[in-house]
A and B are shown apart, each in its own frame.
Chain A
Amino acid sequence: MTSRTATLMAILLLLAAVPPVAAYFAEPFYLDLLRRVMIFAIAAISLNLILGYGGMVSFGHAAYLGIGAYAVGVLSHHGIDNGWLQWGVAIGASALVAAAIGSISVRTSGIYFIMITLAFTQMLYYLGVSIAEYGGDDGMRLKVRSQFSGLIDLNDPTAFYYLVFAILVLSLFLTRRIVDSRFGLVLRATRSNEARTRAIGLSPYPFRLTAFILSGALCGLAGALLANQTAFLTPEFMNWTRSGELMFMVILGGIATTAGPLLGAAGLLLLEDTLQGWSVLPKWVQEHWQLYLGVILVLVVLYARRGLAGLLPGDKHE
């Protein structure tokens, strides 16, 4: 086991220990916060696959968060509360939309790719806003959380916490396997040197598109979790600022590292939470926390490019 893997294991163990500790101190708030962190970590892990390893700067990843959430919300709205079905549709619909958006955007690169992924997500955002049946601008409340035939009850905060935890661990493991596989080797190669990849006989397009779809599907699952977390969904899930936050999580944590997205999600959400709600800070900081977040963001990009994972003990190269 490398020291990096050991560090990641330690972090996961800490996360696993949260529910009993929070219960002991009667602080259920932290359970909720860390569950949120883990859900966003799953979304960031999915983005890291294409952004970090595939070099595709997708500025529209919130789309799949929204699709996953709406899959749960819309089915629930029509009286279908079966979680297997809801989450299956969340993953499937996200994969389909990713295939459609990807087939057009993956052919382009650079600034075009960024703008196109952003624009398509904006399109879905407006679609959400304009459908009055599903609450339009205001969104809608999830009356019942996803039902898993009595197997697990998402209304139980601890049970829900451990389900999210399990999916997080699985996502980490899965992406690690993919990145190290033959497919992952090609994916990283297309980022590293596209001309060389063509010259050894591989067209980057099918590999990039496949990664784009896998990434969308996983993010769709995160969206289904998020809808259950908030018991509420709005088009804001797909807001472009959400896409920007996901990207920032990946960078803040350390791009193209296994633990990075988890660290980044924790870093950003805890930072936001602290700026907004830490009573030690003066009121004018709490009220205008976005101002400081903006400045911190610029500084991190300019001066701390290796992210939080770079601070961890461990070998320099993965």
Chain B
Amino acid sequence: MDFTLVVEQTLNGLQLGVMLFLLAAGLTLVFGIMNLVNLAHGSLYMVGAYLATWFYQLTGSFALALVLGLAGTLLVGVVVELVALRTLYERDHLDQVLATFGLILFFNELIAILWGRAAIYSTLPEFLSGHVQLAGNLRYPLYRLLIIGVGLAVALLLWFVVSKTRLGMLIRAGASNRAMVAALGVDIRLLYTIVFGFGAALAGLAGLLAGPIFAVQPGMGEMILIQVFVVIVIGGIGSIRGAFLGALIVGMVDTLGRAFLKPALSAVISPAAGDAAGPALASMLIYLLMAAVLAFRPEGLFPVRGGS
């Protein structure tokens, strides 16, 4: 096996991992603190990708597009929270699932009305489109390295906010004991809106980072959302640390599985077996991993509270 290829795929896995983390971080808090099943989180990712792409086409400035895209997603997120989700906090999970499922249909179709059903593509500005010479013959796209950098920076920032600030203290308390936070005299509705907006912005950030490397199209949010669910189940609901490690594990396993399972099976068993079972097994790998984790740790790797 080629060493360069292994390093490259590991970096790809890391990049998918931080992307999943950006989505999982906000969602796991929404699950943990508000006990709300929000399927529409993927829609915010989509909105972020579309807004950033659109603003870039309009303004021609990548930096400006990032800022406007982020602000726009935050705004959409807060509006969704105020208009639709607020009434759902006290409802049971079934209602939450169905109502947010309705929101997904709505957003996908709205995007299709505004930008059409076909994928749109955004190009990278000159200064980000190059490659970096990492070692010998290993060249890696600069933009993907940037994504990894941004993801890790956000993780660090989140760690700081959650473990060192008063807001973080409330978030941690909220994830393990909602009644207690209410008893502290905190405006719980405001806390909810802040956390939700925060999560929306992170989802938007993931979306706008994804824009230049993935196809931007209606429904793009749901593909990744279900992977994010796997991340959260593995990591444990409400745990940022769990979301981070879960995201890296899922990102790595998925990427490396897709890259190396087929050749590995071909080499170990037979080329025919590799061709037949490789892709199928690779696409199922993260779900099998989730099943294995759940068999031993039903509350995920970093459980925040018992039961639900």
The 8 Å CB contact of B295, one of A104, A119, A255, is A104
For B98, give its contact among A107, A112, A119, A301 (CB under 8 Å). Answer: A301
Q: Which residue of B107, B110, B232, B299 contacts A115 across the interface (Cβ within 8 Å)?
A: B232
In the complex, which residues of chain A have a beta carbon less than 8 angstroms from the beta carbon of B291? 104, 120
Interface size class of A (residues with CB under 8 A): 35 or more
- The verdict on B249 contacting chain A, using a C-beta distance below 8 Å, is no
Contacts of A247 in B (CB 8 A): 94, 97-98, 101
Is A122 in contact with B109, judged by CB distance below 8 angstroms?
Answer: no
- Which B residue's beta carbon lies closest to that of A297? B102
Q: Is A129 an interface residue (CB 8 A)?
A: yes
Check if B287 sits within 8 Å of A291, measured CB to CB.
no
Of residues 75 to 107 in B, which have CB atoms within 8 Å of A's CB atoms?
Answer: 84, 87, 91, 93-95, 97-99, 101-107
User: Distance (Å) between the CB of A81 and the closest chain B CB?
Assistant: 25
Assess the A290–B93 pair: CB atoms within 8 A. Answer: no
Decide if A298 touches B106 in the complex (CB within 8 Å): yes
Central interface residue in A119, A120, A251, A305, by most chain B CB within 10 Å: A119
Q: Quick one: which of B98, B280, B282 contacts A297, CB cutoff 8 A?
A: B98
Cβ of B240 within 8 Å of any chain A Cβ, yes or no, is no
Q: Does A240 contact B (CB under 8 A)?
A: yes
Asked if A176 CB lies within 8 Å of chain B CBs, one says no
Q: Residues of A contacting B87 with CB < 8 Å?
A: 302
Question: In the assembled complex, how far is the CB of residue B302 from the closest CB belonging to chain A, in whole angstroms?
Answer: 14
Please measure, in the bound complex, the distance between the C-alpha atom of A142 and the C-alpha atom of B294, giving whole angstroms: 37
Give every chain A residue within 8 A of B98 (Cβ-Cβ): 244, 247-248, 251, 297, 301
A162 to B28, CA, bound (A): 48
Chain B residue, CB-CB nearest to A110: B308
Q: Is B190 an interface residue (CB 8 A)?
A: no
Give chain B interface residues in 107-165, CB to chain A under 8 Å.
Answer: 107-110, 112-113
Q: CB of A201 within 8 A of chain B?
A: no
Q: Which B positions have Cβ atoms within 8 angstroms of A?
A: 31, 35, 37, 84, 87, 91, 93-95, 97-99, 101-110, 112-113, 222, 226, 229-230, 232-233, 237, 276, 279-280, 282-284, 287-288, 290-291, 294-295, 298-299, 307-308
Query: What are 20 contact pairs spanning A and B, CB under 8 A?
Result: A57-B94, A57-B97, A110-B35, A110-B93, A112-B298, A114-B93, A119-B233, A119-B290, A241-B101, A241-B105, A241-B222, A251-B94, A290-B109, A291-B109, A291-B110, A294-B107, A295-B106, A298-B102, A302-B87, A305-B95
A102-129 toward B: CB 8 Å interface, digit per residue (1/0)? 0010011111101110111011001101
The minimal Cβ–Cβ distance linking A32 to chain B, given in whole angstroms, is 25
Q: Assess whether A119 is in contact with B226, with CB atoms less than 8 Å apart.
A: yes
Cβ of A165 within 8 Å of any chain B Cβ, yes or no, is no
Nearest 5 CB-CB pairings of A with B: A297-B102, A294-B105, A294-B106, A110-B308, A123-B287
Q: Is the CB of B109 within 8 A of A288?
A: yes
Q: Binary interface profile of A, 223-253, with partner B (CB < 8 Å = 1, else 0)?
A: 0000000000000000011001001100100
Q: Does A293 contact B (CB under 8 A)?
A: yes
User: Among A108, A109, A247, which residue has the most Cβ atoms of chain B within 10 A?
Assistant: A108
A126 touching B284, Cβ below 8 Å? yes
A59 at the B interface (CB under 8 A): yes
Chain B contacts for A290, CB-based, 8 A: 105-106, 108-109
With A and B bound together, what is the CA distance between A291 and B288 in angstroms? 35
State whether the Cβ of A274 lies closer than 8 Å to any Cβ in chain B: no
